Amino acid sequence: MAEEMALQHFDPEQPHAMWRSLRATRPVSPIDRPNESGRQTYLVTTRAGAKQVLLDPETFSSSINGEHTGRFMGPMILAMDGERHCSRRLLISHAFRTSQIARWERELIRPIITELCAEIAAAGRAELIEEVISRFPVQVICGMCAIPAVDSPRFLQWAKDIHRGMLDEATGRAAAGQMRAYLEPLVEQRRAAPGDDLISDIVHSTIDGERLDDEEIYGFLRLLLPAGSESTFRATSTALLAILSTPGLVDRVRSDRTLLAAVIEETLRWDVSNSMVSRVATRDAMVEGCPVSAGSALLVVTNSANRDEGEHSDPEIFDVDRTDRRHIAFGLGPHQCLGQPLARMEMHVGLDVILSELGNLRLNPAYPVPVVTGASFRSPQALHVLFEERVSN
Ligand code: HEM
């Protein structure tokens, strides 16, 4: 009864209240409408349920991730299981080695965010998400792939269209096709003459004589955009909102940048940008006392599991000083986010540079105080700010 009430009063912009109620009443709850493929779907809202599902990939397969976007994205590691996933992930993970991330930090991440801030510094006011933060990770990905910066707006648009493809397949398919047409000559060029960039790494990566085939290369490059840009810019926006709206926090971070690590982890725990991951049951199973039949879809709400009352005190509160900051924002198990060191680095450097380059940064009181909104993808929609042009800590 209580969970029926919770589902009925579901506010798609503010789902935390519903998730809290489901954690207390029915941690694995059926949704009364089937998903796009006609599958019975369950929401999994507790940490124990999330762990059970994500750590048992034989019973809970990732193949469901290929059912919709897979029709135009091509083969993606996100939708693979077992041996194939393991070997493909190994071939790709070499491109994200620690030395590369350190190089990207020096050569791309810091210069790109510094330049984006410099472009607005004299104005004294901005809508930071539109003008800076949303442009930042996509430019980093273009840089990683040695794609000219001037083409990054096209990649930003393709990333948005690929996302929309879940609801509007024609748009997603068109973006995927345009992206491939753009990338084909680059892939061929890097095949013939490898450079020090991610596309060359992916094209030439071999393990035991195996390499990615062409479809897998384009599938991965297409995944990189939505996986790497939208999630990171949204998480960075939420972290900045937390810094600017938590009393005293902006001053603490200004005088002690080491606090940024805690701000980032607490943001990821408190309200991560990607709220859920999908799985499909390969056989009948029992999750948190709820029978789930073979073929059912499960939406594991990591954003809810991170507020599990059994794990955290006052889980709804953003508290940078909490010690129970453990979270599963990057997932768990074999598909755990491949880009998490990069995401953390981008968030850290992004926030550091924004606070340095935009002096006395504060929310613009002429606008309503922003809040984090959204169901599957969460972040503030806009951050109107005021600042002074200066360089200091
Ligand atoms: C704050 C930012 C990010 C968040 C919250 C996030 C979250 C996630 C989550 C929850 C998964 C697991 C999906 C599943 O189990 O089905 C995942 C997978 C993945 N992420 Fe991220 N991600 C972020 C940033 C990035 C970045 C920057 C990149 C790369 C540029 C990236 C690349 C990937 C890839 C390739 C996978 C698939 C891994 C696999 O299937 O083995 N992510 N991410």
277: Cβ below 6 Å to ligand 1?
yes
The Å distance, Cα 340 to ligand 1 centre, comes to 7
Regarding the beta carbon of 78 and ligand 1, being less than 6 Å apart is answered yes
pLDDT in tens, 23-46: 999 999 999 876 777 899 999 999
User: How far is the centre of ligand 1, averaged over its atoms, from the C-alpha of 331 (Å)?
Assistant: 8
Whether 164 and 144 have beta carbons less than 8 Å apart is answered as no
d(CA 385, CA 359): 11
Those residues whose C-beta lies under 8 Å from the C-beta of residue 49, and which sit 6 or more positions away, are 27, 28, 287, 288, 300, 305
The CB of 156 under 6 Å from ligand 1? The reply is no
Q: What's the 318 CA to ligand 1 centre distance in angstroms? A: 23
Look at residues 110, 159, 179, 176 and name the one whose alpha carbon lies nearest to residue 354.
Answer: 110
- Cβ(91) to ligand 1 under 6 A? no
- For the chain, what percent of residues have pLDDT higher than 70? 96
Q: Is the pLDDT confidence value at 390 over 70?
A: no
Rg, the chain, Cα only: 21
The answer to whether 3 touches 22, Cβ cutoff 8 Å, is yes
Distance, CA 333 to ligand 1 centroid (Å)? Answer: 12
d(CA 18, CA 23): 9
CA-nearest residue for atom 19, ligand 1, is 337
235-292 pLDDT, tens digit each: 999 999 999 999 999 999 999 999 999 999 999 999 999 999 999 999 999 999 999 9
- Kindly state the tokens that stand for 356: 């340095």
At residue 393, the pLDDT reads 44
Alpha helices in the chain (DSSP H): 2-8, 16-25, 47-54, 70-73, 82-93, 98-104, 110-120, 128-131, 136-144, 152-164, 169-192, 198-204, 214-225, 231-245, 249-255, 259-271, 302-305, 340-357
pLDDT of residue 7: 59
What is the number of domains present in the chain?
A: 1
> What CATH code is carried by the domain that includes residue 33?
1.10.630.10
Residue with CA nearest ligand 1 atom 32: 339
For ligand 1, say whether the CB of 274 is within 6 Å of any of its atoms: yes
What residue's CA is closest to ligand 1, atom 41?
A: 335
Question: For the segment 106-148, what is each residue's pLDDT rounded down to a tens digit?
Answer: 999 999 999 999 999 999 999 999 999 999 999 999 999 999 8
CB atoms within 10 A of CB 249: 16
Nearest to 64 by CA among 285, 284, 280, 335: 280
Provide the residue range defining the domain that includes 349.
Answer: 2-389
Query: Which of 276, 372, 376, 373 has its CA nearest to residue 332?
Result: 276
Taking CB atoms within 8 Å and a gap of at least 24, the contacts of 212-215 are: 212/88, 212/91, 212/92, 214/187, 215/74, 215/75
CB atoms within 10 A of CB 206: 10
Instruction: Give the dihedral sign, CA 237/306/281/216.
Output: positive
Kindly state if the Cβ of 89 falls inside 6 Å of ligand 1. yes
In three-state secondary structure terms, 366 is: coil
* pLDDT tens digits, one per residue of 179-221: 999 999 999 999 999 999 999 999 999 988 889 999 999 999 9
